[in-house]
Amino acid sequence: MPGGFETPIQYLKGVGPRRAELYHKLGIETVRQLLWHFPRSYVNFGENTEIASVESDQICSVRAMVMSKSGEQRIRKGLSIFKVTAADDTAEITLVFYNTKYAVEALSIGQEYFFYGRIGGSGFRREMHTPQVFTLADAERGMLSPVYPLTAGLTSRIVSANMAQALELTAGERADFLPTEPRLKYQLCELEFALCQIHRPKDTASAEIAKKRLIFDEFLILALAMSSIRGKRSVETGYQMKEESFTPFYGSLPFRPTGAQEKAVAQSCRDMCREVPMNRLVQGDVGSGKTLVAAACCWFAWKNGFQSAMMAPTEILAMQHLETLRKFLEPFGMRVEALTASMPAGVKRNVKKHLADGEIDLLVGTHAILSDGVDFLNLALVVTDEQHRFGVAQRVSLAQKGNHPHVLVMSATPIPRTLALMVYGDLDLSVIDELPPGRQPILTYRIGSDKRERAYSFIRKHLDMGLQAYMVCPLIEQGEVDIGLKPAAQYAKELADGPFSGYRVGLLHGKMKQADKDSVMEEFKNGSLQLLVSTTVIEVGVDVPNAVIMAIENAERFGLSQLHQLRGRVGRGSQQSYCILLSDAKNAESRQRLGMMCKTNNGFEIAEFDLKLRGPGDFLGFRQHGLPQLAIADMAKDVGLLENAQQAAKDILQVDPDLSQHPKLKEQVQRIVKNVGEQIN
């Protein structure tokens, strides 16, 4: 049988194959995984309430003596109840148990217990339904009873009992993997204490101490894993650049760059003058002018005699970038071309040829442009736009490309700084925290269906003024048609025939052929279409400054960050812009979320609010990237520990870059690295 930690869960005393199945549902296969399955919270059954003062619906603990027990009452087949009367000095209470004969049999009349549960009944008839029972002996060990994440068939009591076994089985094996130095520096307890106290805490303080250590571990191991996945940054780039004055570039622009744009450019160029490849994230809210930053960096690379590539998540965006970048760069004699899947083979061949011979200075496309068969003469800078869609895997393949090109990542996803730190680790960060001048904040309104006609006439009024608008319909790409939402085409037709008859209405959705999408976008850009009905394919990056209204149907169905991205399509010119959120949702959370949209235009505030409301969950697509879900740490709350862990990871790697002197720690890190590696390959 394998050593204690690696023992399959079914061999643990008291588990067996059937219960093991339940544990498998929670992702627990081994004793180790069980021990690292942490309580969500604790029930403090020692904080008991007098029975006379319990209130209906209150969840509480009472300390009471069992007075009498009823026999089994069969309500119907498969459901029997047992009633137990218990009392303290103040009053009596009826404890109602369902189908739990053994639990009731275990109670002795005349004995005191703690009962924990929700109070039902009313008036004098006090009841507690399916209480958890704790004996006085339980209380001797500690008054905190762990509450575990569960699946049907398991209870926290069962998990606790199995956990006690697991702790016994691995006693003596729980040597600490954390080096003493960071442990002392950050005032963390030993692993032994942490594992015992998280599952069977003596008191609240001990549980907190244990938790702190385990959160730190989780962050540290993740930080080390991310750093291993990213690879060593000590490699040299083949493209160390030299300073260059930006006066000619900035002088050629139709506007003055903002201070934040100039700063991001300066930071990036300083990076590119170093021996190590740049690895920088430029984060700027929608409309902050990230494209210009990209253009400036490509210009800088070109001045240094190198090629650049710019990648966008969709072809529409790539073509839009092509157009914008050409405007910025062609006046200098730079040759900017695109390469997309839908281009004719002959054109593609020609582009590839000129990439290889260095005729083309900047290539724009989707991430497919870094695929095999595209050879550059000297690709020194890779810019990726809207990074969250590329993910960790692509970033890795990118970093491994060629002679270590510089990497600039642009993201409008307002990831709170703590999250960025965790995912990107030592990625340098530039924040564009300033919008181009003259922008008016977008006014956002939430309205119900009853005001729909008014919204239409509001939109018509703006179209009549020569302005344009978007209407986002519920997603057809995501198979939501069947739940009664109108497919985009039908929806567009109804608008075109009804409230917008006589106006030029276009339709854009994800299932259209690329060429059709392009031509619709083109018509909208040049003003031949006035109203663009679209699914969320327009979510990212599309830039039509003359469009001033974004109306979104069933707004409550969208994530807040997505709504913010959509809203970012307007407010790009000097005209007052509007976002209209159509929603009949009545529930409190929807109202709160949409209310937040109306209250602020700040993407970071919105993201942080979303994080608080929904928790980090899969905010960063961890699962998609093969990264573990955080079991105990909370990125939003445990910022201090995250920063400490990040620092500790750096310190450890400094002296032991491949963790060979820390085999136990390495083992933990490798578990994650292997998992992510499987996603990449």
Least distance (Å) from ligand ADP to the CB of residue 516? 23
CA–CA distance, 542 with 537 (Å, rounded to integer) = 9
CA–CA distance, 346 with 352 (Å, rounded to integer) = 10
Find the residue with minimal CB distance to Mg ion: 541
Least distance (Å) from ligand ADP to the CB of residue 247? 16
Alpha helices in 231-333 (DSSP H): 247-251, 259-272, 290-303, 315-329
Compute φ and ψ for 602, nearest 5 degrees.
Answer: -90, 115
Minimum CB distance to ligand ADP smaller for 98 or for 255 = 255
Which one-letter amino acid corresponds to residue 156?
Answer: S
Among ligand ADP, Mg ion, none, partner that 98 touches (CB below 5 to 8 angstroms by kind): none
Among Mg ion, ligand ADP, none, partner that 257 touches (CB below 5 to 8 angstroms by kind): ligand ADP
CA–CA distance, 520 with 645 (Å, rounded to integer) = 50
Contact call for residues 358 and 378 (beta carbons, < 8 A):
yes
Structure tokens belonging to residue 626: 């093969």
Minimum CB distance to Mg ion smaller for 292 or for 422 = 292
Among ligand ADP, Mg ion, none, partner that 499 touches (CB below 5 to 8 angstroms by kind): none
Indicate left, alpha or beta for 275 from its phi (over 0: left) and psi (-120 to 50: alpha): alpha
Contact call for residues 596 and 588 (beta carbons, < 8 A):
no
Among ligand ADP, Mg ion, none, partner that 641 touches (CB below 5 to 8 angstroms by kind): none
Task: From 12-20, 109-117, 534-542, 643-651, give the range in contact with Mg ion by CB under 5 A.
Answer: 534-542
Q: Write the secondary structure of 38-53 as one string of H (helix), E (strand) and C (coil).
A: CCCEEEECCCECCHHH
Minimum CB distance to ligand ADP smaller for 554 or for 575 = 575
Least distance (Å) from ligand ADP to the CB of residue 566? 12
Compute φ and ψ for 140, nearest 5 degrees.
Answer: -60, -40
Minimum CB distance to ligand ADP smaller for 192 or for 434 = 434
Among Mg ion, ligand ADP, none, partner that 405 touches (CB below 5 to 8 angstroms by kind): none
DSSP single-letter state for residue 387: G
Closest CA to 93 of 132, 66, 130: 66
Size of the residue set binding Mg ion (CB under 5 A): 1
Least distance (Å) from Mg ion to the CB of residue 419? 20
Contact call for residues 657 and 603 (beta carbons, < 8 A):
no
Minimum CB distance to Mg ion smaller for 131 or for 289 = 289
CA–CA distance, 297 with 379 (Å, rounded to integer) = 13
Least distance (Å) from ligand ADP to the CB of residue 517? 18
Least distance (Å) from Mg ion to the CB of residue 386? 7
Among ligand ADP, Mg ion, none, partner that 644 touches (CB below 5 to 8 angstroms by kind): none
Among ligand ADP, Mg ion, none, partner that 288 touches (CB below 5 to 8 angstroms by kind): ligand ADP
Minimum CB distance to ligand ADP smaller for 138 or for 262 = 262
Among ligand ADP, Mg ion, none, partner that 255 touches (CB below 5 to 8 angstroms by kind): ligand ADP
> Which residues bind to ligand ADP, rule: CB under 6 A?
255-258, 261, 284, 286-292, 412, 436, 541, 543, 545, 572
- What string of DSSP letters covers 20-42? HHHHHHTT--BHHHHHT---SEE
CA–CA distance, 268 with 294 (Å, rounded to integer) = 10
Q: What is the CA radius of gyration of the chain?
A: 31
CA–CA distance, 217 with 225 (Å, rounded to integer) = 12
Least distance (Å) from ligand ADP to the CB of residue 291? 3
**What's the gap between Cα 386 and its chain centre?**
15
Least distance (Å) from Mg ion to the CB of residue 290? 5
Contacts with Mg ion in 579-618 (CB under 5 A)? none
Contact call for residues 56 and 123 (beta carbons, < 8 A):
no
Dihedral sign for Cα 106, 109, 111, 115, please.
Answer: positive
Among ligand ADP, Mg ion, none, partner that 287 touches (CB below 5 to 8 angstroms by kind): ligand ADP
DSSP single-letter state for residue 576: -
Minimum CB distance to ligand ADP smaller for 42 or for 246 = 246
User: Which residue bears the tokens 């709160």?
Assistant: 592
Minimum CB distance to ligand ADP smaller for 292 or for 431 = 292
Among Mg ion, ligand ADP, none, partner that 292 touches (CB below 5 to 8 angstroms by kind): ligand ADP
Per-residue binder mask for Mg ion (CB under 5 A), 488-527, x = binder? ----------------------------------------
Site for Mg ion contains 541 (CB under 5 A): yes
Specify the length of the chain in residues.
681
Task: Specify the DSSP element, H or E, that contains 181.
Answer: helix 180-185
Minimum CB distance to Mg ion smaller for 433 or for 480 = 433
Minimum CB distance to ligand ADP smaller for 321 or for 593 = 321
CA-CA-CA-CA dihedral for 643, 645, 647, 652, to nearest 10? -170
Minimum CB distance to ligand ADP smaller for 142 or for 571 = 571
Minimum CB distance to ligand ADP smaller for 284 or for 405 = 284
Minimum CB distance to ligand ADP smaller for 543 or for 553 = 543
Among Mg ion, ligand ADP, none, partner that 545 touches (CB below 5 to 8 angstroms by kind): ligand ADP
Three-class secondary structure of residue 319 per DSSP: helix
Find the residue with minimal CB distance to ligand ADP: 289
Among ligand ADP, Mg ion, none, partner that 506 touches (CB below 5 to 8 angstroms by kind): none
Closest CA to 548 of 453, 471, 606: 471
Contact call for residues 302 and 308 (beta carbons, < 8 A):
yes
Least distance (Å) from ligand ADP to the CB of residue 442? 13
Least distance (Å) from ligand ADP to the CB of residue 338? 17
Least distance (Å) from ligand ADP to the CB of residue 604? 14
- What string of DSSP letters covers 7-20? -BGGGSTTTHHHHH
Minimum CB distance to ligand ADP smaller for 169 or for 286 = 286
Among Mg ion, ligand ADP, none, partner that 218 touches (CB below 5 to 8 angstroms by kind): none
CA–CA distance, 186 with 179 (Å, rounded to integer) = 11
Least distance (Å) from ligand ADP to the CB of residue 410? 7
Compute φ and ψ for 414, nearest 5 degrees.
Answer: -80, 75
Among Mg ion, ligand ADP, none, partner that 313 touches (CB below 5 to 8 angstroms by kind): none
Residues making contact with Mg ion (CB under 5 A): 541
